[in-house]
Structure 1
């Protein structure tokens, strides 16, 4: 395994992507998740400035971003339950059924993009989970495939 100390991400280990442990709070609960910085299309395993800029942006705005993601998770889960004819659940049950697992800074596709997202396990959709991607001021929500 390769290790590095990145000027923004800190200490990372490379094994298919740059990784480290990361603490995040959702719904007033602390979770230890995996932070992933995907490698880009080169053999040098470099981290692009856009990925660093995305992390800095997230870090500086994390309270606002995390609250927005909480709202999206509840709304998406309610819509999912309705769409699949499942019993509507109260917000507490929804909150207790969702757990973050990863914050990911994907490979850079377009120069200048601010792009990151979260993956969540969901008891309501254990096969696909939930993925929420932030890209240039917009949020997209779908299954975990949105970010993988």
Structure 2
């Protein structure tokens, strides 16, 4: 199917496609997943969520990195690494360092009504936990939740 907002999509447990996004001066390809059923239309709130996200992206990506940095530092402390050296959880103190150890893999547009408002989920690969990754939920273009990648799906 070709959608006016999302472009070309194929159905496999949701509508799947590809998109490009600016990652600090580099255009990267990421998976695009629009939640829904094959026999149902993509609804207007999903379209609006994605359009507003794209418009706000340049303004919100730094705040995302700041929250990821805070999340990482807290996680590192919870795991007991604190000031200790750890190969998998190195000491990181700024957003440039965190930016270098995460990679945006997917943009997910959840079903309407799952969250109160426009929602987008981001799934990242992260070097400190390749198995669980990193997930961020945005509601109305603001960070609502951050955790393992499975929250994005």
- TM-score higher than 0.5 here? yes
Secondary structure of the 1:124 match is coil
After superposition, the CA RMSD in angstroms is: 2.1
Corresponding residue SS for 2:9: strand
What per-residue deviation string (whole Å, max 9, x for no partner) do you get for residues 47-101 of structure 1?
1111001011112211112222122222211221122123422434432221110
5 Å-filtered alignment, 1:98-109, equals: 98-109=102-113
In the alignment, which residue of structure 1 is the partner of 2:100? 96
The match for 1:118 is: 122
Match for residue 54 of structure 1 among 45, 49, 53 = 49
Q: Is the 8 A contact 1:97 1:123 kept in 2?
A: yes
Q: Is the 8 A contact 2:65 2:98 kept in 1?
A: no
Q: Is the 8 A contact 2:119 2:139 kept in 1?
A: yes
Equivalent residue, structure 1, for 2:14: 17
User: Where does the alignment leave 5 or more consecutive residues of structure 1 unmatched?
Assistant: none
Distance 1:53-1:25 versus aligned 2 partners, 3 A rule: same
TM value normalised by structure 2: 0.81
Stretches of structure 2 that go unaligned for 5 or more consecutive residues are 86-90
CA contact 2:135–2:146 (8 Å) conserved in 1:
yes
